[in-house]
Amino acid sequence: MRDHRKAVVLIPHYNDPEGLQKTIASFSENEPCDVLVVDDGSIAPIDENKIQELFKATGEVFFLYLEQNSGIETALNKGLDWIKENDYQFIARLDCGDINMPQRIHKQLEFMENNADIQLLGTWAEAIDVNGNPLYQLHLPAAHEDIEKKMFLNNMFIHPTVMFRKEALDVIKEYPYDYPAAEDYAFFFKFVRNFKTANLPEVLVRFEINTAGGISSTRRSTQLQTRIKIIKENFKFGYYPIMGITRASILLFIPRNIVESLKKRILWKGK
């Protein structure tokens, strides 16, 4: 198997061709991976020739077009189906507008190949606004034991940073449809329950936050209610599960702009 056929990066796309181009351009030269772009029934067309021109990694960019807009879960699961059919070993994630740091895929692949017991690997990340200005950094626990406890407080994996083994999908199956606005939290919680996981303690992705909108603004209440549902489904008596439900319940009543301001003050760790 050619090295780049070991790993594929799954990128869902919906009406953001400029963000997609920015993301594709962030792959380092000689990164050993392919990319699958799943277009979720966009009106704004993808310039495939421009994408191929911008892509500097050793692999190829493939495109999968859905006939109509079906939602993020469907786009991701259609992508997983395609990936399983094409027999990749590792699946990484990225969203339009997000930026890979140099050698991100290489570093994650190296870790996964040297740690056969790890099925899901995230990294630290830096949040940026739509203009690329840094907002704050997220430094998440590296060891599975800490991740397992703190998953009750919040998602310990930043979605566009993750890489996981295709073989894990025999157990995990797919992104769930019954956890609106928090499908990734439910998906990763299942990994934590069934497998050993880790985070690389290095900022390897800059992820974009639209402070004027986006899922965390327009569907924040739904997201928090779903998070409480997930915590309850995985509940076991102890400090972290109780604190997780309490924390999410309190956040329901705090405006998002205040939460983001606090994150910037508390979580910012500089470059």
54 lies in the same domain as 124:
no
Question: Cα separation of 46 and 12, whole Å?
Answer: 12
Place of tokens 């899901």: 120
Tokens of 228: 């409480």
CA angle 17, 20, 22 (to 5 degrees): 115
Residue 211 CB contacts under 8 Å (≥ 6 apart), including other chains: 129, 135, 217, 257, 260
User: What is residue 123's three-state secondary structure?
Assistant: strand
Place of tokens 């997609």: 20
29 lies in the same domain as 141:
no
25, 107 in Cβ contact below 8 A? no
Q: What is the pLDDT of residue 271?
A: 41
Q: What is the pLDDT of residue 270?
A: 46
132 lies in the same domain as 109:
no
Q: What is the pLDDT of residue 20?
A: 98
136 lies in the same domain as 171:
yes
64 lies in the same domain as 163:
no
264 lies in the same domain as 249:
yes
Classify the C-alpha dihedral 2-64-45-99 as positive or negative. negative
57 lies in the same domain as 165:
no
Place of tokens 């309490």: 246
152 lies in the same domain as 217:
yes
Domain count, the chain: 2
Domain that holds residue 147: 115-271
Q: Are strands 99-100 and 196-208 parallel, antiparallel or unpaired?
A: antiparallel
CA angle 70, 75, 81 (to 5 degrees): 130
Q: What is the pLDDT of residue 1?
A: 44
Q: Give per-10-residue mean pLDDT for the chain (271 aa).
A: 77 98 96 98 98 97 98 98 97 97 98 98 95 93 98 98 98 97 97 99 94 61 94 94 94 76 62 41
233 lies in the same domain as 124:
yes
135 lies in the same domain as 257:
yes
| pTM attached to this predicted model | 0.92
CB atoms within 10 A of CB 226: 20
Residue 190 CB contacts under 8 Å (≥ 6 apart), including other chains: 171, 172
Q: What is the pLDDT of residue 217?
A: 54
Residue type, 65: Y
Write down how long the chain is: 271
9 lies in the same domain as 56:
yes
